[in-house]
Chain A
Amino acid sequence: MTITQRIVTVALCGLATVLTRALPFLIFTPGRPTPKYVQYLGKALPAAIFGMLVVYCLKDVSFLTGDHGLPQMIAIAVTVGLHLWKKQMLLSVAGGTAAYMLLVQLVF
């Protein structure tokens, strides 16, 4: 990417963010009910989007060749295990990342 393309990419991310934050204030006047479909998407989208993002993070893992994605799978298991155990987001993220770093640097 050229420097201009990078600036455009970051600007587009910023613009999208501002749009999602400002749009309700521009569209809906207080006191008027929000459309049912919009309310529904508000509840249904987050879980789907974060599921999608987990897959996005793993998109370049090759499960059939090389290490078969084992470091990723083990590190995700560590992250999930820590989170089910302590429910501390920062601990789970730090623990899972540390496990992954150890695995790719020392084991695989």
Chain B
Amino acid sequence: MKEKGAAIWALRTAFPHTLPILAGFTVLGMSYGVYARASGFSFWVPVCMAVVIFGGSLEFVAVSMLLGAFAPVQTFLMALMIQARHLFYGISMLERYKGMGWKKVYLVYALCDETFSINCSVQVPEGVDKGWFMFFVSLLNQCYWICGTAIGALLGGVIPFSTEGLDFAMTALFVVIFLDRWLQEKKHWTALIGVLGAAGCLLAFGAEDFMIPTMACILVLLTAFRRPIERGMEQE
């Protein structure tokens, strides 16, 4: 009974912290749902991906991968590269997620960018159970994403105007994330390695086969130029 009370209280204190994510995920989830429908998939495809993958960037990319030829190795490697940043969320959360018992399994599973941004910085109020608080932040955020996706996937089937060109939402999303990164750093070595490495490999290997060479190229260049890049980062 005491546990239940603590959980409900944590839910009520966690909810206000997730409101910005509610707004963001509803809109982004909806555009993802509409995009998946416009790409020719049924309602359940984007919704299942929202549950299983729960990572916005990769879900957009997964839609375009599903439209291409079956390439399991490339799919897996690309997914690993796109999601690699989560490794560093995990490293930052080692201490905070310690001793959470069974909740830790879900906390780790649902550690997306937005959940990380709240859970790594939030001061859990006095008297509120930390584990339940962070559990509900994660759960609420995932619910917003799934609901947004489901609404978009429903609307996507009945939208009365042409959705031609809607797939640009993915490009625009990545441009914006990339631009944010670019503006944050003084030296742009890593950003340029990504763009030029990919563009070079695209020219050399063609649109079908350039992703694995690109990922290898990025890792090699980042490793080779580690010293100057790190020096540049220290100046920031």
The size of the chain A interface, using a CB distance under 8 A, is 71
- Residues 53-84 of A, flagged 1 when their CB comes within 8 A of B and 0 if not, give 11111111000000000011001100110011
Write out the residue numbers on chain A whose beta carbons fall within 8 Å of the beta carbon of B143.
Answer: none
A-B contact count (CB 8 A): 253
- Chain B's interface: helix, strand, loop or mixed, by majority? helix
- Chain A's interface: helix, strand, loop or mixed, by majority? helix
Given A16-B79, A47-B182, A100 and B90 touching (CB < 8 A)? no
Given A15-B76, A20-B84, A80-B175, A1 and B190 touching (CB < 8 A)? no
Write out the residue numbers on chain A whose beta carbons fall within 8 Å of the beta carbon of B81.
Answer: 45, 49, 52
Write out the residue numbers on chain A whose beta carbons fall within 8 Å of the beta carbon of B207.
Answer: 59-60
Answer whether residue B122 sits at the interface, using C-beta atoms and an 8 A cutoff: no
Answer whether residue B126 sits at the interface, using C-beta atoms and an 8 A cutoff: no
Q: Which B residues form the contact surface with A (CB < 8 A)?
A: 23-24, 27-28, 31, 45, 48-49, 52-55, 57-59, 61-62, 65-66, 69-70, 72, 75-76, 79-91, 93-95, 97-98, 104, 108-109, 111, 162-166, 168-182, 185, 188, 190-195, 197-199, 202, 207, 210-211, 214-215, 218, 222, 226, 229-230, 233
